[in-house]
Amino acid sequence: MGPIPIILNPAAGRGSAGEREPEIKEAFRRLGLAVEIFRTAGPGEATELACALCAQGAEVVVAAGGDGTVNEVAQALVGTDTVLGILPLGSGNDFARAMGIPAELRQAAEALARGRERRVDVGEASGRYYLNALGMGIDGQIAHDYRTHTFLRGEIGYLLATVYEVLRFRPFAVEVEAEGRRFAGELLAVAAMNGPWAGGGFCLAPQARPNDGLLDLALLGHYPRLVRLVVLPKTRDGSYLRLSRAQLLRTREVRVRAERPLFVHLDGELLSERVSDLEVKLLPQVLRVRA
Residue 269: active-site member: yes
Fill in the amino acid letter for 8: L
Q: Are 188 and 171 in contact (CB under 8 A)?
A: yes
Three-state DSSP state, 117: strand
Given the residues 72, 124, 165, 269, the one annotated as active site = 269
Give the H/E segment covering residue 98.
helix 94-98
Residue among 214, 215, 211 at smallest CA distance from 287: 211
How many residues are there in the chain?
291
Q: Are strands 264-266 and 133-137 parallel, antiparallel or unpaired?
A: antiparallel
CA angle 217–267–149, rounded 5-degree value: 120
As annotated, the active-site residues are 269
